[in-house]
Amino acid sequence: MRTIIVPTDFSNPSKNAARFALNLAIGLKADLHLCHAYNIPVESPMMGQVVWSLQVLPDVKANAEKALKKLAKALETKENKLMGDNPALFRPAITWSAEQKDLVSLIHDKAKEIKAMLVVMGMTGSGKLNRLLFGSSSLKMIDETKYPLLIVPHHHRYRKMEKIAFATDLSRRELKTAQAIARFAEYFDAELMVSYVTGFSDLIDEKAYLHKKEEFIKNIDG
């Protein structure tokens, strides 16, 4: 079964991303998996050199799992509202996991384990420290991800997809991405707008530019 992974730090931005992912899951006929990474610092300069007891670990894990269960319940309630009286809509299963490791490593390990089709993340966390940590994880994911990644801005709310813009330089290396986005757009009956900024060389040799554009477009199905 295809699955969308949603990392969360339980901040409002990450909860918003989870709600966005739920709407995507319904359209893509995919399940949702929520994941949370936590750390137990043995010694932290930010805590005044306080040494944490390893006995704290079970409580941290239990609290994380409790928060994940609460988030999953809230998403199930949202799911029921979206279903309404339309039994034909796909109902995603919602699962979750919490592990003590680096967030990016957890995402990659979990995505590999369940063969995830997509990772959906919020852009920032709540508070200055969490914003730094979760924001830097988003940036690290952009650099290191092995899976399709969707970053959802904090204040962006899901609405029916009618048009998807894809910025490209029309190179062959980007054609595979364009083909994948076209298949994604089909699930939502959305229009794909290919966006390209012409350069000076295109003005000099317009015939070559038009050929490059036509070759790119004709290899995108749909």
pLDDT per residue as tens digits for the range 85-124: 677 889 999 999 999 988 889 999 999 999 999 999 987 6
Residues 108, 45, 135: CA angle, nearest 5 degrees? 35
Residue with tokens 């034909």, as numbered in its chain = 88
| Confidence check: pLDDT of 40 > 90 | no
Number of H helices, E strands in the chain: 7, 9
| Confidence check: pLDDT of 189 > 90 | yes
Give alpha helix (H) positions in 115-154.
127-144
Residue 192 makes CB contacts below 8 A (sequence gap 6+) with 163, 164, 166, 178, 181, 182, 185, 220, 222
Cα–Cα distance for residue pair 173/107, rounded to 1 Å: 25
| Confidence check: pLDDT of 139 > 80 | no
Cα–Cα distance for residue pair 163/214, rounded to 1 Å: 21
Average pLDDT over residues 24-34: 96
Q: In three state form, how does the secondary structure of 30-42 look?
A: CEEEEEEECCCCC
Residue with tokens 């949702």, as numbered in its chain = 32
| Confidence check: pLDDT of 43 > 50 | no
Residue with tokens 């137990």, as numbered in its chain = 40
Cα–Cα distance for residue pair 105/141, rounded to 1 Å: 10
Q: What is the mean pLDDT of the chain?
A: 86
Prediction pTM value: 0.82
Helix (H, G, I), strand (E, B) or coil at 87: coil
For position 219, what pLDDT does the model report? 94
pLDDT per residue as tens digits for the range 62-88: 899 999 999 999 999 999 988 886 778
Average pLDDT over residues 29-47: 75
Kind plus residue range of the DSSP H or E element containing 164: strand 163-167
Average pLDDT over residues 194-220: 91
